[in-house]
Amino acid sequence: MANAKSKEKPSSPIGASLQRNDVYEKVTGSAIYVDDLQFGNRLLYAHVLRSPHPHALIKSIDTSKAEKLPGVKVVVTGKDFPERMGLYLKDKTIFALDRVRFIGEPVAAVAAVSEEIAMKACDLIEVEYEILEAVFDAEYGASDKAPLIHPQLGEYYCPNYLFPKPGTNISNHFKIRRGNCEAAWKECAYIVERTFHIPHIQHVPIETHGAIALMDEKGKMTIWASSQSPFAQRNIIAQALHITQTDLRVIAPLVGGGFGSKAGVTMEAIPAALATKCKGWPVKLMLTREEEFFTNFVRQGLTTHVKVGCDKDGNILALKNVMYWDAGASTEYGANVVRAAGYSSSGPYDIPNIETDSICVYTNHPIGGAYRGFGMSELHTGIDQAIDELAEKAGFDKVTFLKKNAISEGDIIVTGMKMHANGIQECIDNVAKSIEFSKKEEPTSPDRVRGKGIAIMWKAPATSPNPGSSAWVELAEDGKVTVGLGGQELGQGTFTVMAQMAAAALGVKYEDVRIAGPIDTQYSPYEWQTVASRLTWSMGNAVRAAAADARRQILDVVAEAWKENPEDLDIVNGVVVSYKSEKETPLANLVIYGLPRENNGGWIGGPIVGRGSFMPQYITNLDLETGQGPRAVVHYTVGCEGLDIEIDKNTGKIHVVKAAASFDVGKAINPELVKGQIEGGFVQGLSSALFEEIRLRNGVMTNPSFVDYRIATAPDVNFPLDVPFVEVPQDDGPWGARGVGEHPMVPTIAALGNAIYNATGIRLDGPPYSAEKVYLAMYDAGLTK
């Protein structure tokens, strides 16, 4: 109970490591994911017929035999759904139309009474292809020798901040021209030039993609999907299927891991398309793990040419990046990854002269989408390693070099925007101290060599210029609170953190706040997407505003009833108190029915509904030729990672002795959840550095299963990881908070590459730093026999 008399305030939920509010369901198996939803006997099962060719014309499709198979309800092909769609650049269709552009592309789909029958029906569909020459390399694809994969690129809708080149395979060419690199090279005392290749990888959510779609007799559709973007899916699928947005309802249960793979629209459109042909019958499609690996979304491959130079005092003067992104058969989403890498292409370094060409190239490879980091991991793999070498060449200690050149508040950054206050110096210090970076330590055995590496990073939320969040807050007769929001719980803890924020802004206990889930576009307020590490900041602002709005309404009612000033009132643990008169009343007494006036004079107030909305108003476009503009992004989160490793000279295997990851999160609303994110992101980064690669041969993924696409397992994580975070407040973040979801997997490859270099003097040309690569490099360098 609140104690108005003593004016004691209980501890705030902000900054408290409160227990997640979804953990009971998850440990008992009662949490509902999309494949757990029950639909009864009317449920139909979908199977997709996919292209076996990387690039081919479709001459004919004969579905007649499939349609006749007993148990088959619907068969569809591309001609039934010709509308182009996409989050940014509309270059994608639900099914291939006149040609296929990657192995695995959907060509047709069947809805039938069982998965087995749907699969058999797909086998009966006859497709005639005319093979076309394919493109498997981004630099080649960007050249004028390559065949065109999207000859109609010029006709696609494109937002005005992307710059496609019709008549080529380049769907976005983002440039930075800042200062004068040509002149600056001449001033440089030391220059490093390197090329790195970063392969495609996949998100590997443990829950694969899945969706169920149902269209009613009036043409209203409901889609249940494992989704990071229920509202974006509503918008994009509605447009593609000519349904008005209000008549397309997306319900998004808990997500078993997203990492960007479940953003935008991918396979969800397929059951939606089928459902339009069998009104009243729900159609379900769950991707197999194999389909998840290569038919849906992957992370783009990158070939990056980096040139960086500094003066004799160690000031970095110039940086040139030429980045060819192997973006796959569609770049509706990936074109913005290329842009984001471009406008952040300096990394968190203060460099006055920058020339960047970030080139998004169509290839006949799997589709590059949004992947945790959104281009930052690939970018930093290049620049952090080149700068690591530059530091050594210039004779500087690495940490000194990083600290000297790291971006500071007030610096004009790569796009011309001013950098805000940030904790990069403290992050570097934390990591250097944690792994004792300056201390050269002996290997633990004569069969090993030892080295340490450090790398820094930054990332801004990469979005459209106008991504909005909104929220509502309601209370019930018990005085407890329900928060309506549109962002998704992917495991990052957003439902928990939003409950904490609502509790703090309203004045109730965290335990008394519920999130209105599952997210349902029919009832939940709009949220752009659960991506970009933006929810804590953006949706947090909306939730805080909604709770504050509810609080103001409540205090206005009570003030009027008590004839007091709202400024003298407060809500503490769900009780409205007056610091002046010391009167109190629990919220339950007034949030539905209001308060009675004196002397049978009627009522004050009524049902309390708070609303809040947040959309950054200040993002601007950037110049086509120079990439300069007043405000490219909302803000940057900075950070640093370091690794202390040993390499086995007999096998090339890398053993991590200890590691550290430090990020400036602005304000840790829930410190243990923040640490959990950083730990998980670090391991995903380490996994991408050590093991992961989509092995493509002539457009075929040769390792589309866990057997040969390896990810980190528990025994691989047998070292201590220190995760000290820094808090330099974000001026427009709720309680100063900023996002950190993606950042921990960004600098890990570079930090490991730098550690390998420190241990062996060998700079490998790209991840994964497999034992084989490391061993053979050491062997060829004479470091091992």
257 or 729: CB nearest another protein? 257
Interaction of residue 219 with another protein, rule CB under 8 A: no
Determine if the peptide bond prior to 518 is cis (ω within 30°): yes
73 or 675: CB nearest another protein? 675
176 or 490: CB nearest another protein? 490
493 or 766: CB nearest another protein? 493
**Contact pick of 14, 22, 196, 417 for another protein (by CB under 8 A):** 22
User: Which residues 602-631 are close enough to bind another protein by CB under 8 A?
Assistant: none
- What sign has the CA pseudo-torsion 166, 167, 171, 174? negative
Selection from 761, 671, 725, 720 nearest residue 436 by Cα: 720
CB of 584 to another protein, least distance (A): 34
Interface stretch with another protein, choices 156-164, 172-180, 202-210, 346-354 (CB under 8 A): 202-210
C-alpha angle 222/227/230, rounded to 5°?
A: 55
CB of 241 to another protein, least distance (A): 26
484 or 652: CB nearest another protein? 652
What is the DSSP secondary structure assignment for residue 319, as one 8-state letter?
Answer: E
CB of 103 to another protein, least distance (A): 5
Q: Read off the tokens for 252.
A: 């998004």
# of chain residues touching another protein (CB under 8 A): 82
Q: Alpha helices, DSSP H only, in 507-626?
A: 540-562
Interaction of residue 256 with another protein, rule CB under 8 A: yes
User: Which residues 702-731 are close enough to bind another protein by CB under 8 A?
Assistant: 702-708, 710-718, 721
- Other C-beta atoms lying within 10 Å of the C-beta of residue 133: 9
User: Which residues 640-659 are close enough to bind another protein by CB under 8 A?
Assistant: 650-651
Asked if residues 579 and 4 have their Cβ atoms less than 8 Å apart, the reply is yes
Q: Read off the tokens for 681.
A: 């992101």
152 or 705: CB nearest another protein? 705
Q: Alpha helices, DSSP H only, in 50-114?
A: 64-68
User: Which residues 473-532 are close enough to bind another protein by CB under 8 A?
Assistant: 490-493
- H or E element, residue 659: strand 654-663
Interaction of residue 1 with another protein, rule CB under 8 A: no
50 or 551: CB nearest another protein? 50
* Phi then psi dihedrals of residue 659, to 5 deg: -150, 160
17 or 180: CB nearest another protein? 17
Determine if the peptide bond prior to 768 is cis (ω within 30°): yes
User: Which residues 321-340 are close enough to bind another protein by CB under 8 A?
Assistant: none
CB of 119 to another protein, least distance (A): 7
Interaction of residue 20 with another protein, rule CB under 8 A: yes
317 or 701: CB nearest another protein? 701
Selection from 652, 553, 528, 538 nearest residue 610 by Cα: 553
The C-alpha atoms of residue 358 and residue 326 are separated, in whole angstroms, by 11
The C-alpha atoms of residue 578 and residue 224 are separated, in whole angstroms, by 46
CB of 493 to another protein, least distance (A): 7
Asked if residues 587 and 508 have their Cβ atoms less than 8 Å apart, the reply is yes
C-alpha angle 710/713/714, rounded to 5°?
A: 170
CA distances from 600 to 228, 595, 596, 597, 604 (A): 51, 11, 8, 6, 12
User: Which residues 105-164 are close enough to bind another protein by CB under 8 A?
Assistant: 115-116, 119
363 or 770: CB nearest another protein? 770
Strands, DSSP E only, in 276-428? 283-286, 301-310, 316-328, 353-362
- H or E element, residue 248: strand 248-252
CB of 280 to another protein, least distance (A): 22
User: Which residues 535-594 are close enough to bind another protein by CB under 8 A?
Assistant: none
Selection from 758, 757, 761, 755 nearest residue 642 by Cα: 755
CB of 310 to another protein, least distance (A): 35
Selection from 755, 776, 762 nearest residue 654 by Cα: 755
CB of 404 to another protein, least distance (A): 32
CB of 530 to another protein, least distance (A): 12
User: Which residues 36-55 are close enough to bind another protein by CB under 8 A?
Assistant: 36, 38, 50-52
CB of 764 to another protein, least distance (A): 14
Q: Which residues contact 385 (CB under 8 A, 6 or more apart)?
A: 194, 196, 455, 750, 753, 754, 757, 763
CB of 59 to another protein, least distance (A): 19
CB of 63 to another protein, least distance (A): 18
220 or 653: CB nearest another protein? 653
The C-alpha atoms of residue 696 and residue 66 are separated, in whole angstroms, by 31
CA distances from 669 to 489, 677, 747 (A): 16, 13, 24
HSE-CB at 751 with a 13 A cutoff on CA atoms is 37
1 or 27: CB nearest another protein? 27
**Contact pick of 67, 290, 311, 564 for another protein (by CB under 8 A):** 290
CB of 171 to another protein, least distance (A): 25
CB of 1 to another protein, least distance (A): 27
The C-alpha atoms of residue 39 and residue 43 are separated, in whole angstroms, by 6
**Contact pick of 14, 103, 236, 632 for another protein (by CB under 8 A):** 103
Interaction of residue 255 with another protein, rule CB under 8 A: yes
Asked if residues 612 and 471 have their Cβ atoms less than 8 Å apart, the reply is yes
Q: Alpha helices, DSSP H only, in 242-375?
A: 269-275, 289-294, 334-343
Interface stretch with another protein, choices 27-35, 174-182, 230-238, 241-249 (CB under 8 A): 27-35
Interface stretch with another protein, choices 288-296, 384-392, 405-413, 438-446 (CB under 8 A): 288-296
CB of 652 to another protein, least distance (A): 8
Question: How many residues does the structure list for the chain?
Answer: 785
**Contact pick of 11, 30, 600, 617 for another protein (by CB under 8 A):** 30
421 or 700: CB nearest another protein? 700
**Contact pick of 42, 289, 312, 597 for another protein (by CB under 8 A):** 289
CA distances from 34 to 226, 279, 785 (A): 6, 21, 53
CB of 47 to another protein, least distance (A): 8
CB of 250 to another protein, least distance (A): 19
**Contact pick of 3, 15, 16, 33 for another protein (by CB under 8 A):** 33
